[in-house]
């Protein structure tokens, strides 16, 4: 039913010349949940509960943190390449 009303408002909007009615019809024909700005769309989202991070997640490295010594460090600290033997 709401969709039919939006479609009717859109059809009337194409024919209407009075600016005050065009403004009202434009508001009626627009579905802000779909066509709205990001802030308008976010108003329809349910609020979420705050979740405390797990201990393992607090100590885990983040994506922007520099890497500690690990597999890649072994490659740099290994023996230097020797010339091929004949």
pLDDT digits (tens, 9 = 90+) for 58-79: 666 666 666 655 555 555 555 6
Q: What is the pLDDT of residue 85?
A: 56
Q: What is the pLDDT of the chain when averaged over all its residues? A: 77
Q: In Å, how far from its chain's centre is CA 14?
A: 33
Give the whole-angstrom CA distance, residue 73 versus residue 20. 69
Whole-number Cα distances in Å, 7 to 10, 24, 40, 42, 56:
5, 14, 21, 24, 53
Q: In terms of pTM, does the model score above 0.85?
A: no
Q: What is the pLDDT of residue 12?
A: 92
- Structure tokens that stand for 63 in this block: 């994506």
């Amino acid at each position: 039913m709401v969709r039919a009303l939006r479609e009717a408002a859109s059809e009337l909007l194409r024919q209407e010349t009075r600016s005050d009615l065009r403004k009202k019809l434009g508001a009626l024909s627009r579905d802000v949940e779909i066509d709205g700005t990001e802030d308008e769309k976010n108003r329809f989202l349910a609020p979420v509960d705050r979740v405390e991070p797990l201990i393992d997640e607090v100590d885990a490295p983040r994506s922007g943190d520099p890497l500690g010594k690990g597999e890649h460090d072994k490659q740099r600290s290994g023996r230097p390449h020797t010339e091929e033997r004949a």
